[in-house]
Amino acid sequence: MEQKQINLTALEDMLEELAQKNWAISKQVFSEDFCKDLAHECQNLAAAGQLSKASIGKGASKTVRSEIRGDFIQWLDDSHPFHQCLELIRQSLNQFFFLGLRRVEAHFALYPPGAGYAKHIDNHRPNSGQNSGSSGGGSNHRKITFVLYLNENWQKDHGGELSLYNPDKDSEMLGQVEPTMGTLILFRSDLFPHQVEKSSANRMSLTGWFRDDAL
């Protein structure tokens, strides 16, 4: 798994789309074989009992609330080969948008049947209602969210879509993304309310955030 796993033309197209809409989706950035390897790794982690219940909140208010967020995760070590790909995307994002992104954090996620993630924003803007204002400055250092879906033979009736909502009117759905193998989504972490719909099958992904702070 190296940087050459990335289709650079597809990535450039995605960044153009991101510039226009603040979110972008592509099935062409990573090859299916590459994604299948990542899917096997996630399955193996699950089978070995190495995924942990995800929590919400930060610091002292960090809690496990399965009714809000039902996935199991494992953070990727910086030495994981996929980080080379993320590093290339980080550099491209910086060249394109001058975002000053300094690092990326990522985790495998597995949503078992019946699990979802209620509507939320990954990086709330300070001193504003959840979805008001347009300063673009969040209360944490997550700038761009990515999700790479890892589900082979995903059927529409499995559910599990990512629903994306209008930043200015969070009752208005902008679109739904099916979590099919190799689908990659990028979006501004401080703008979009989004929700993971419950699914009837295991739903796997690699999720993470490009950040503008150092460790």
Ligand X SMILES: O=C(O)CCC(=O)C(=O)O
Q: How near is the Cβ of 209 to ligand X at its closest, in Å? A: 8
Site for ligand X in 56-115 (CB under 6 A): 109
With contacts defined by CB under 5 A, name the span among 18-26, 27-35, 54-62, 121-129 that binds Fe ion.
121-129
Q: Which amino acid is at 96?
A: F
Residue nearest to ligand X (CB): 162
Q: How far apart are CA 84 and CA 64, in angstroms?
A: 31
Question: CB under 5 A: which stretch of 38-46, 65-73, 116-124, 179-187 binds Fe ion?
Answer: 116-124
- The single residue among 34, 108, 117, 192 that binds ligand X, judged by CB under 6 A, is 117
Burial class (CB in 10 A: 0-12, 13-18, 19+), 99: middle
Token pair for residue 34? 């590459």
Q: Which of 29, 35, 38, 147 binds ligand X (CB under 6 A)?
A: 147
Closer of 87 and 178 to ligand X (Cβ): 178
Structure tokens at 170: 């969070």
Residue 183 interacts with ligand X (CB under 6 A): yes or no: no
Please state, in angstroms and rounded to a whole number, the distance separating the CA atoms of residues 116 and 114.
7
Give the residue with the Cβ less far from Fe ion, 41 or 190.
190
Residue 20 CB, shortest distance to ligand X, in Å, is 21
**Out of 5, 74, 183, 207, which residue is the one contacting ligand X (CB under 6 A)?**
207
* C-beta atoms surrounding 39 within 10 Å: 22
CB of 80 to ligand X, least distance (A): 18
- Judged by CB under 5 A, does residue 122 bind Fe ion? yes
- For residue 182, which amino acid is it? G
105 vs 112: CA distance, rounded Å:
23
Span near Fe ion by CB under 5 A; candidates 11-19, 101-109, 120-128, 167-175: 120-128
Distant-in-sequence contacts of 96-102, Cβ < 8 A, 24+ apart: 96/15, 96/19, 97/15, 97/18, 97/19, 99/143, 99/144, 99/210, 99/212, 100/212, 101/143, 101/144, 101/210, 101/211, 101/212, 102/211, 102/212, 102/213, 102/214
Residues within the interface to Fe ion (CB under 5 A):
122
Residues within the interface to ligand X (CB under 6 A):
109, 117, 122, 147, 162, 194, 196, 205, 207
